[in-house]
């Protein structure tokens, strides 16, 4: 069964902390994505990657960076967390640009 695993379901961090959100997929997918989900705003694309060490900005990349050192792993980094980054973060992967997106269960981040 296909699987996208996000390492932390719930995190609480303080303003200014560096935060790492990890995502691993076991489907050998080329493409991986980080979305942010907020009530009333839907899903918004932060960054995506179509190959190892490759990344492209999505619609809301400010305040975030990403790392993809291995094909199966895509990390989202908040260099200095702020309260307006309190949100649900969803990782997804797909087989190229035409396959469906497979989502993880999400990581709910609270920044105090």
Q: Show contacts with another protein in window 52-111 (CB under 8 A).
A: 56, 58-59, 90, 92, 94, 96-101, 103-106
Written as one string, the DSSP assignment of the chain is ---EEES-SEEEE-TT--EEEEEEESS--SEEEEEEEETTTEEEEEEEESSTT--EE-S--TT-EEEEEETTEEEEEESS--GGG-EEEEEEEESTTTSPPEE---EEEEE-
51 binds another protein (CB under 8 A): no
1 binds another protein (CB under 8 A): no
Residue of 34, 47, 48, 74 interacting with another protein (CB under 8 A): 48
Residue of 10, 28, 40, 84 interacting with another protein (CB under 8 A): 40
Residue of 31, 75, 85, 87 interacting with another protein (CB under 8 A): 31
Q: Note whether 71 and 30 are within 8 A (CB).
A: yes
Residues in contact with another protein by the rule CB under 8 A? 4, 31, 35, 40-45, 48, 50, 56, 58-59, 90, 92, 94, 96-101, 103-106
């Amino acid at each position: 069964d296909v699987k996208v695993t996000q390492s932390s379901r719930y995190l609480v961090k303080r303003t200014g902390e560096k935060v790492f959100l990890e995502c691993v997929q076991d489907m050998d997918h080329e493409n991986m994505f980080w979305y942010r989900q907020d009530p009333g705003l839907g899903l918004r694309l932060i960054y995506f990657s179509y190959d190892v060490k490759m990344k492209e900005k999505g619609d809301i990349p400010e305040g975030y960076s990403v790392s993809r050192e291995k094909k199966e792993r895509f990390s989202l980094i908040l260099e200095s967390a702020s309260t307006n980054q309190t949100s649900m973060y969803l990782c997804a992967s797909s087989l190229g640009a035409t396959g469906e997106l497979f989502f993880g269960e999400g990581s709910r981040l609270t920044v105090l």
